[in-house]
Amino acid sequence: MPTFTHQFDTKTYNKSVSFETGLFINGKFQDGSDKTTIDVTNPSTGKVITAISEGTRQDVDLAVAAAQKAYETSWGLKVPGFERGKLLMKLAELIEKNAEELAAIETLDNGKAFKIALGFDVTESAAVFRYYGGWADKFSGKTIEVNDQKFGYTLHEPIGAVGCIIPWNFPLLMLSWKLGPALATGNTVVLKPSELTPLSALRMCSLINEAGFPPGVVNIVTGYGNTVGAAIAEHPSLEKVAFTGSTLVGRSVMKAAANSNLKKVTLELGGKSPNIIFDDANLDQAVKWAAFGIFFNHGQCCCAGSRVYVQAGIYDKFTKAFTEHIKTLKVGDPFAEDTFQGPQVSQTQQERIMGYIEAGKSEGATVHMGGDRHGDDGYFVQPTVFLDATPDMKIVKEEIFGPVVVVSKFEDEEDIIRQANNSMYGLAAAVFSRDITRALTVANKLQAGTVWVNCYNKLNPQMPFGGYKA
């Protein structure tokens, strides 16, 4: 059975951690069926830090069987909502109790700045579990009059055993987004974390047990997408699959769900979000939020504001201020107290981003700043700003998922609505203007699931998160 043991020796966290990294099935850790492992790499250094068990289709079968048994015997309709809610709230408390350790694990595994992992990822994950804990006993149906002698009624019931596949950009937060609503409504779960960033999910297994969830309610199977992920999407005994990740893989998940048992599917996929800045915006605030909108989490956000549109009257002034502000954002060791941007999650991702940067150059866009790797170790990329791009360029059309932004001009409302909606994506957007009527009018015309006004990347458990199109 693989185990992760590590002594953190940084200014922000200086303690040791140790926990098993096998498959978590029916409340216990175990080796994968083939007893093979997958190396986990620290993206800040490129060095292997531990190994995890490699799950197989057979292991998914075992996890599904455990989830089904738990649903039928110790969860689902067997446990009232207020009891489920108590467990979710207890889990939120345990996350907060172990907040620094979870943040350090997330930073080591994913590369995000420790202060952000602690202040955002861990804090918001606890908030998500607490929010859904409050909802667990508040699901109700309706009584419907049929005629003067009869009535009918509806019930909200759990689906059963469900599958969840989460990405590597917000490992702990995505786990909470999937587990919170599924468990609150009485479902049991088989969850696959990314093989690149599995450690916080595996550490959470002990907290799930400590909170008192019955064995089999939550099962975590680590492994590759083409084996474990595919097995979850195709499994005939899972009644739903929820996937967060790329549009390409999302299509495969939907196809697999349809070809198996027509299970319900929830997909949260890519984005190429427009951030619109009118000439009457508070310039200082617009600059800061625009930088936060793209460079937060190293640009590895599905809702990242990677297309910044600035009204022509303030374009030059904005570009100058934007450039100066970006220079203040420190790129480097994610455990350093003043770091804002750490490494990309993997060498593959770094090379993919550099490929887009080279495509932008070759297609004629201007690299205004950045445009190269940062440092010699790890998978760092400089914050990069492109100017003079056209709508047909790859850097404008395709999701880069890195610290790369395109800044473009627009003339008026009609022009910007046309440019902003000219995308296969429709996850998020933002509008900056002191004229709230104009801001809301434009927001209502944008094909985006979330539209922020005079801010960016403000996520709350109370708000839904989804989009138009892909």
* Contact of 267 with 258, CB cutoff 8 Å: no
43 burial (CB, 10 Å; 0-12 / 13-18 / 19+) is buried
Find tokens 């699959």 and name the residue.
Answer: 241
CA-closest candidate to residue 303, choices 117, 428, 400, 435 = 428
In the Cβ-directed half-sphere of 130, how many Cα atoms lie within 13 Å?
Answer: 12
* Cα separation values, 316 from 97, 310, 408, 409, 417, Å: 48, 9, 11, 10, 21
Compute how many other C-beta atoms are within 10 angstroms of the C-beta atom of residue 169.
Answer: 24
Catalytic residue among 164, 205, 301, 302: 302
From the centroid of its chain, how far is CA 266?
14
Active site residue 268: yes
In angstroms, the CA 132 to CA 136 distance is 6
* Contact of 200 with 171, CB cutoff 8 Å: yes
In angstroms, the CA 299 to CA 218 distance is 31
DSSP, res 120: I
Catalytic residue among 268, 301, 303, 399: 268
* Contact of 408 with 308, CB cutoff 8 Å: yes
For the record, the structure tokens of 398 come out as: 């395709």
In angstroms, the CA 297 to CA 271 distance is 15
Active site residue 302: yes
One-letter identity of residue 425:
Y
In sequence order, what are the residues at sequence separation of 6 or more whose Cβ sits closer than 8 angstroms to the Cβ of residue 156?
139, 140, 141, 185
In sequence order, what are the residues at sequence separation of 6 or more whose Cβ sits closer than 8 angstroms to the Cβ of residue 207?
91, 94, 95, 98
Radius of gyration of the chain (CA): 23
* Contact of 246 with 74, CB cutoff 8 Å: no
Size of the chain in residues = 470
**For helices 315-327 and 283-295, angle between their N-to-C axes, nearest 10 degrees:** 60
Q: Which sequence positions are flagged as catalytic?
A: 268, 302
